[in-house]
Structure 1
């Protein structure tokens, strides 16, 4: 594929950006939450202008562009929004009680620009647009797609994702090889005791006291059981017990999140949370049970692919910043667990006061669409050149 074809492809991407901005604003005005992405998918398919696409994972789709057989390069775009009431004051703000507060409208629009450009300037390799539902909720849309036989008929060779991030200055992009996001699991704890009158605790077995001891003790699993050089987080998000101030209840409940950047640490924490809850509950005359729901695996950027993309960015003068590594999670990790993949974090920050992801005031600029679309175009070029060089 000569330099002239690449020049035409890059030019076509730029020519599609105005339409992508319009799509972004329409999607932002009418978001759909996880599991209800049908209207969003319809708008995206219409914007792409394709008749041939495959439904997958209930409200998602696969759109293959280019050669019908052979290897394909995947580009993931998340369709869902969050159940957040928007407070941005934007002229195209949502009014339906949901909000694209994680930038998915940006990601979708950039992927559409790439898809439309590839329809205009044929590439020597197929593109597979992965229009994915349920990134923000369980069961994960990415997991369901990766478990689909249909998905694997497309012979995916590499897969790319991009995510806007307010902690990176606008215009900058972070790649970084290796683990960039944590595995994310949820735990639910139930402590069963024996209720009674608040004035006579010696006649009861107080599950609240036992749960309090559990909450404090579990913090030591990260600080005292794991290598301090291995990032991990154990956070409680809910604690529930009782119905009256003068009554000791029969049960107490808590739930939270486990985040790990090492596979062995993940397994160990699962085992030790259960053992510690059981032992502490027993010491208080209660019983304790734990249910752990496995979520996303560790998001791992392939080293060779990361290097190839970074080299392409350097040649093109793209501003890159230090790798963005955090205990956040993204179900793009299901793809990168099976295929060489790279998640790129694209800056939309405008100083320390930039609203955070999932904030009711988060509103990344339209310019991020161009940053992501051009990054995808360079990544595609890098893959084609890498394979042509053997």
Structure 2
């Protein structure tokens, strides 16, 4: 197992192409939302059990771990796939489009799951590794808080299925299919959500002096929030504060009682993350006090920063170079302002989260026209197989 030619190549998984496409299309037709992945879990578990895996279900709700051992090695590695879909009406017009109104695999988790299943299939039929592989099939990545990764860890994931490292990936539209992207250290942002409710005093639009107008207060706050990053955060640091929703009133001639702002906050550093919360709370309270209103600030911490460990990222990078060549590997990619609950795993274990190109000009993630590119299925299956084989290679 010391020679790289003994490890999985792209050619080794080509015979699985039709089977994997069928699996992916089945999953795409039957999307399920966070913590509702019952049929998906049944399908995945039955496939894995038929290939000889020991499958443990019920972690984090609908999550599961499939375990396979080979040789006499004592080391273990984990690979994770996410299974949940999004509450979006599909508009692809594909023959395998979602059959569930208002539900769609618009982020490619059907493809992520299928690639790991492809690796599971090939690992089971070759068993060219020395140790234990745990395949983690996770629910509820898209939920934003109290996610599947967090719940699986709380259910004893790493105590029950110990491993030296964990790996995962996400597809990335806009880059050529089969292109791998890596970054050591902070890679994807922490994401927090803030709801601000401004309680004013409603009244007639013709007599605003008798009211406390929450719309004016909210508008001033939206403008002030634009200074949080530009004037409070070190220019060498990255952060985002976006007001995504501002709701108040219903008609032109009534000053409403309340206004509500919803804010997305993203950062790559713990100190910056704390600073953002402090500044947003301070600005919100100051604006309410200045206008004589009352304010509520509900600050909900979301996923932490995805921080890839250097040795595991180097291994994952090397495996990609061996598999597809230097021209299809990007080192130092990102950072990415999107968030990912794989971050919770990386707080517990070393590992690497990477990106895989889903096609130039392809619809973006979370878009009603998005579709995972089937050309990635055998590439991803070969990559995960080779990574497991390399990580668990017999030690001389």
Provide the residue aligned with 2:138 in structure 1.
Answer: 132
Instruction: Name which of 358, 363, 369 aligns with 2:366.
Output: 358
Change (3 A) 1:4 1:194: closer
1:39 and 2:39 correspond? yes
Does residue 1:116 correspond to 2:126, yes or no?
no
Unaligned runs of 5+ in 1: none
Residue 190 and residue 167 in structure 1: after superposition, are their counterparts in 2 closer, same or farther (change >3 A)? Answer: same
Query: Structure 2 stretches of 5 or more lacking a match?
Result: none
2:54 equivalent in structure 1: 52
TM-score (norm 2): 0.91
Which gives a bigger RCO, structure 1 or 2 (Cα 8 Å, sep 6+)? 2
SS where residue 186 of structure 1 aligns?
strand
Which residue pairs with 2:169 in the alignment?
162
CA distance in structure 1 between the aligned counterparts of 2:248 and 2:60, rounded to whole angstroms: 37
1:101 to 85, 106, 119: 106
Structure-1 separation of matches of 2:307 and 2:181:
14
Partner of 1:336: 346
Q: Choose 100-109 or 362-371, whichever is displaced more.
A: 362-371
Q: Kindly indicate whether the alpha-carbon contact (under 8 Å) linking 2:7 and 2:386 is maintained by their aligned counterparts in 1.
A: no
Deviation of residue 224 (structure 1)? 0.5
- TM-score, length-scaled by structure 1: 0.93
Residues 235-246 of structure 1 mapped to structure 2, 5 A cutoff: 235-246=242-253
Partners of 1:218 and 1:262 in 2: how far apart?
Answer: 19
Secondary structure at the counterpart of residue 274 of structure 1: helix
Structure-2 change in CA distance of 1:198 and 1:178 (3 Å): same
Q: Determine if the alignment matches structure 1 residue 320 to structure 2 residue 320.
A: no
Give runs of aligned pairs for residues 196-215 of structure 1, distance below 5 A. Answer: 196-215=203-222
In 1: Cα distance, 2:303 partner to 2:152 partner: 13
Which deviations, in whole Å up to 9, do the C-alpha atoms of 1:63-118 show, x marking residues without a partner?
11116995421111111111111111211111212111111111101101111222
Q: Relative to 1, partners in 2 of residues 1:297 and 1:28: Cα closer, same or farther, differing over 3 Å?
A: same
How far residue 287 of structure 1 moved from its aligned partner, in angstroms, is 1.9
- Answer yes or no: is 1:259 the counterpart of 2:266: yes
Match of 2:179 among 168, 172, 181: 172
Aligned partner of 2:287 in structure 1 is 280
CA distance in 1, matches of 2:287, 2:89: 40
Structure-2 separation of matches of 1:39 and 1:325: 35
CA RMSD of aligned residues (A): 2.2
Shift, 1:144, TM fit: 0.8
Cα drift, residue 139 of structure 1: 2.2
Aligned partners of 2:65 and 2:256: how far apart in 1?
51
Q: How far 1:46 sits from its partner (Å)?
A: 1.9
Structure 1 residue 375 corresponds to structure 2 residue 383: yes
Q: What is the distance in 2 between the residues matched to 1:52 and 1:373? A: 20
Q: Is this contact kept in 2: 1:180–1:324, CA < 8 A?
A: yes
Would the aligned equivalents of 1:76 and 1:130 in 2 still touch at CA under 8 Å?
A: yes
Asked if the contact 2:75/2:392 (under 8 Å) is kept, the reply is: no
- 1:188 equivalent in alignment to 2:195: yes
Aligned length: 386
Cα contact 1:207–1:249 (8 A) shared by 2: yes
Residue 350 and residue 195 in structure 1: after superposition, are their counterparts in 2 closer, same or farther (change >3 A)? same
Worse-matched range after superposition: 310-319 or 116-125: 310-319
Q: Per-residue deviation at 1:180?
A: 1.3
Matched residue SS, 2:330: coil
